[in-house]
Structure 1
Amino acid sequence: MSMVRTLIDPGRQQKDWDEQLPFAMLAYRSSIQESTGETPAMMMLGRELSLPVDVMIPPQQSVDERNKDTDYAEELRNRLHDVHDRARNKLKLSGVKQTRTYDRNTELNKHNVGDWVWLSDLQRKKGVCPKLVFKWEGPYLVTHRLSDVVYRIQKSEKAKPKVVHYDRLKAYNGEAPRNWLNSRRTNPNRNRRIPQRYLE
Structure 2
Amino acid sequence: MNGAVEAPNKNIKKIIEKMTVNYKDWHEILPYALLAYRTSIRTSTGATPYSLVYDTEAVLPIEVEIPSMRILAETELEEAEWAKRRYEQLNFIDEKRLKALCHRQCYQQRMALLHVTPDSRGKFSYKYDGPFVVRKVFSDGAVILSDMDGTENALPVNVDAIKKYYP
State the TM bucket, normalised to the shorter chain: 0.3 to 0.5
TM-score normalized by the length of structure 1 = 0.40
Q: Which has the higher strand share?
A: 1
Larger Rg: 2
Q: Which has the higher helix share?
A: 2
TM-score normalized by the length of structure 2 = 0.46
